[in-house]
């Protein structure tokens, strides 16, 4: 529906039956003031004496000869008011005259109160003869009103004065778009106002096929999902397969005799079925339905009562075993630990070796599901054994499978001395796999030359002492079905500008140009480029492995530890902290152990590696619990970074 305004012009009428001279003496000035109020203007002359004659012309054809008239305009617009004055002597001779002009704007009331509407009905059961009743709203008389009808069948448009009610006879059957346009005459604003409306009617010329279908359909919600509804056409029709389309009232549509629709939200919807038996027999029917959503099952109550106990090793007082005692007992629960010395662990039972004596806040985080979790922190006092010399020497020998069943299987014999049950053992087999067994048996997937290393660390490390570590490496050759002399190797260096960009150089001697290359950068990413350049997201220590394969049975591995970060990164030990709780909503805490009092610089980075929070606290000797307010952070993943002394630690948590 649209409304149109057409601006009309105003007419300025000059009255000429009152002549004046050109002089303008000061004793009969025609200057005047106006005071508009709505469409009425009050005129007040400067000269108010009884000797001066006044004549007024208001610009709309009206005039006055009184001294200070008030004039009302009937039509809005801009008008020029003219004021003429004169004085005569006793002999009737004009002694002075003057004229003055002021423009005035009469504001328009632009409201258009025309609203087009009509109804239609069949005349005397003749399905091709329609009576149209004009139900439009229009301004009252004397404003002129015009009705313009277009019956949509190509016949001439019918225009009439007033709200006309025509009848029309159609000569062909079908659907016709009937339009009515109502125009009011000039309003107070001096404009024309128009509104229009169109409706579709169905015409059936007698003697042709009649359209006597009565469209109906059934509605069947799903018993367990009331928002899933089956709509089925139940119309009794004369043809086997009418064209049926649906409008479900939620801006979606469908087609078919029976259709299932799923609503995404509850509410009231108007569902319409459109059935076409032929090109001239088309009908619609609509039904309003109320949709409800399935009732979600009640949430499982979270009844975790967190608890844990610990026991101290009889001979090594710095080795403590922590046991989850939370109720109800659930051995499948996810359990993680923060031992209070910037190290973490997992498992229902966790054993930890402390390297320093002190008082530590140990926290356990237990979770049965995404919505049921709890945590508990307790204070643990740790002492160190009185004597713990560093006298361990790593050593091992190896032998291929003595049975000859598979020449790719190697038996390793740990000969390190002295070796205690608390010492940690790490085997690196040179093919990207490791083991912590004392005497492992390892089967290589491919032939090749492998650099096998054994690292033994004596536990625990006394306070103030360097860790007691010993390692040894041997070259192991796996021949497979064919001799393989391939030996892989690489070098690397940091980029001179971006210290987190590492340049790797494959120094493997390869005669086969089709060799398969696979790099593992130690951060979860890989590459098949011969000598790649890799960008690390975070500084730290990474274990990089190069795998070279020249044939199905000839594979060589080479691994090395690299340091990513600034040129001084090699002197910055790193550690990973455990945030409590995780996920966190308003506050998250980490623990840092200091050998002496010193400042701790704390930074929080978002997933885009942008610093969103920073602070500096004064750390004390021993354990420090650092609590961070994260209430105002948006939901997402964050990294906490701590720098103190020559130490760099980090923790990752989720904000919910």
Render pLDDT for 317-329 as a digit per residue (tens, 0 to 9). Answer: 889 999 998 888 8
**Average pLDDT over all residues of the chain:** 81
Strands (E), 73-192: 77-88, 94-106, 118-123, 126-134, 145-150, 158-161, 167-169, 174-184
Query: Residues 471-499: what's their mean pLDDT?
Result: 78
**How far is the C-alpha of 178 from the C-alpha of 116, rounded, in Å?**
13
Render pLDDT for 124-152 as a digit per residue (tens, 0 to 9). Answer: 888 889 999 999 987 776 668 889 999 99
Please tell me the pTM assigned to this model: 0.26
Query: Residues 512-541: what's their mean pLDDT?
Result: 85
* Count of C-beta atoms within a 10 Å radius of residue 54: 20
Strands (E), 170-209: 174-184, 193-203
**Which residue from 346, 345, 336, 342 is spatially nearest to 356, judged by alpha carbons?**
342
Please give the angle made by the CA atoms of 47, 52 and 54, to the nearest 5 degrees: 85
Are 478 and 484 within 8 A, CB to CB?
yes
Which ranges in the chain are annotated with CATH 2.60.40.2550? 573-655
Which ranges in the chain are annotated with CATH 2.60.40.10? 26-106, 118-203, 217-291, 308-382, 396-478, 490-564
Are 195 and 202 within 8 A, CB to CB?
no
**How far is the C-alpha of 89 from the C-alpha of 46, rounded, in Å?**
21
Lowest mean pLDDT among 292-296, 384-388, 579-583: 384-388
Q: Yes or no: is domain 118-203 CATH 2.60.40.10? A: yes
CATH class of 573-655: mainly beta
* CATH number of the domain located at residue range(s) 217-291 in this protein: 2.60.40.10
Strands (E), 415-489: 424-428, 434-435, 441-443, 448-458, 468-478
CATH class of 396-478: mainly beta
Tell me how far the alpha carbon of residue 402 is from its chain's centroid: 63
Render pLDDT for 252-300 as a digit per residue (tens, 0 to 9). Answer: 999 999 999 999 999 999 899 988 877 767 788 899 999 999 888 777 7
Query: Residues 335-357: what's their mean pLDDT?
Result: 91
Strands (E), 239-281: 243-247, 253-255, 258-262, 267-276
What pLDDT score does 607 carry?
A: 67
Render pLDDT for 66-93 as a digit per residue (tens, 0 to 9). Answer: 888 988 887 778 899 999 888 877 776 7
Q: Which residues, 6+ apart, have CB-to-CB distance to 84 below 8 Å? A: 18, 20, 30, 54, 55, 56, 57, 97, 98, 99
Are 574 and 651 within 8 A, CB to CB?
no
Residue 533 has pLDDT above 90, yes or no: yes
According to CATH, the topology of domain 26-106 is Immunoglobulin-like (2.60.40)
Where do we find the tokens 């500084």? 539
What pLDDT score does 118 carry?
A: 94
CATH class of 308-382: mainly beta
The token duo for 488 is 């892989």
> 647-655 and 574-576: which strand pairing?
parallel
The token duo for 41 is 């203007």
CATH of 490-564 given 2.30.30.100, 3.30.70.890, 2.60.40.10, 3.40.640.10: 2.60.40.10
Q: How far is CA 441 from CA 333, 401, 456, in A?
A: 32, 9, 18
């Amino acid at each position: 529906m649209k409304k149109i305004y057409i601006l009309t012009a105003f007419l300025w009428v000059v009255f000429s039956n009152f002549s004046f001279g050109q002089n303008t003496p000061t004793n009969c000035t025609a200057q005047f003031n106006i005071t508009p109020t709505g469409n009425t203007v009050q005129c007040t002359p400067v000269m108010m004496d009884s000797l001066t004659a006044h004549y007024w012309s208001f610009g709309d054809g009206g005039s006055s000869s009184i001294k200070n008239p008030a004039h009302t305009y009937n039509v809005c617009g801009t008008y020029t008011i003219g004021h003429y004055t004169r004085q005569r002597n006793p002999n009737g001779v004009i002694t002075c005259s003057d004229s003055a002009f002021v423009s005035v704007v009469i504001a328009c009331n632009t409201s258009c109160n025309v609203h087009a509407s009509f109804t239609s009905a069949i005349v005397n059961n003749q399905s091709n003869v329609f009576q149209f009743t004009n139900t439009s709203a229009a301004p009252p008389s004397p404003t002129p009103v015009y009705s313009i009808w277009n019956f949509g069948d190509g016949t001439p448009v019918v225009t009439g004065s007033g709200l006309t009610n025509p009848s029309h006879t159609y000569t062909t059957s079908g659907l016709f778009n009937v339009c009515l346009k109502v125009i009011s005459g000039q309003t107070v604003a001096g404009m024309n106002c128009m509104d229009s409306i169109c409706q579709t009617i169905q015409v059936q010329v007698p003697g042709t096929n009649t359209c006597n279908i009565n469209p109906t359909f059934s509605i069947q919600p799903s018993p367990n999902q009331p928002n899933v509804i089956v709509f089925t056409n139940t119309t009794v029709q004369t043809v086997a397969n009418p064209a049926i389309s649906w409008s479900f009232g939620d801006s979606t549509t469908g087609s078919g005799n029976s259709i299932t629709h799923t609503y995404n939200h509850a509410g009231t919807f108007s569902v319409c079925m459109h059935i076409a038996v032929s090109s001239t027999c088309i009908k619609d029917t609509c039904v309003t339905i109320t949709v409800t959503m399935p009732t979600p099952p009640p949430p499982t109550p979270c009844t975790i009562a967190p608890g844990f106990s610990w026991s101290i090793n009889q001979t090594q007082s710095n080795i403590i075993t922590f046991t989850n005692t939370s109720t109800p007992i659930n051995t499948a629960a996810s359990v993680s630990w923060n031992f209070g010395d910037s190290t973490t662990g997992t498992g229902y039972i966790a054993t930890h070796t402390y390297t320093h004596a002190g008082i530590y806040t140990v926290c356990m985080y237990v979770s049965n599901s995404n919505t049921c979790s709890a945590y508990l922190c307790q204070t643990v006092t740790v002492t160190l054994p009185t004597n713990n010399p560093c006298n361990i020497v790593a050593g091992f020998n190896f032998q291929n499978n003595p049975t000859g069943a598979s020449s790719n299987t190697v038996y390793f014999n740990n000969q390190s001395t002295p070796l205690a049950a608390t010492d940690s053992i790490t085997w690196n087999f040179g093919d990207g796999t490791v083991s912590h067994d004392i005497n492992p048996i390892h089967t290589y997937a491919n032939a090749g030359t492998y650099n096998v290393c054994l690292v033994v660390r004596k536990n625990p490390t006394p306070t103030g002492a360097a860790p007691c570590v010993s390692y040894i490496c041997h070259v192991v050759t796996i021949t497979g079905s064919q001799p393989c002399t391939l030996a892989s190797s690489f070098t690397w260096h940091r980029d001179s500008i971006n210290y987190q960009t590492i340049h790797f150089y494959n120094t493997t001697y390869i005669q086969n140009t089709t060799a398969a290359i696979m790099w593992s950068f130690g951060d979860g990413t890989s590459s098949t480029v011969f000598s790649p350049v890799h960008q690390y997201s975070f500084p730290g220590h990474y274990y990089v492995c190069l795998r070279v394969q020249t044939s199905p049975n000839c594979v060589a591995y080479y691994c090395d530890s690299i340091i990513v970060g600034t040129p001084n990164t090699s002197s910055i030990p790193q550690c990973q902290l455990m945030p409590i709780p995780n996920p966190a909503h308003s506050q998250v805490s980490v623990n840092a152990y200091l050998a002496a009092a010193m400042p701790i610089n704390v930074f929080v980075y978002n997933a885009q590696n942008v610093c969103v929070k920073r602070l500096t606290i004064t750390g004390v000797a021993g354990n420090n619990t650092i609590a961070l307010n994260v209430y105002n952070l948006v939901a997402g993943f964050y990294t906490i970074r701590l720098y103190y002394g020559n130490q760099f630690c980090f923790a990752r948590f989720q904000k919910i």
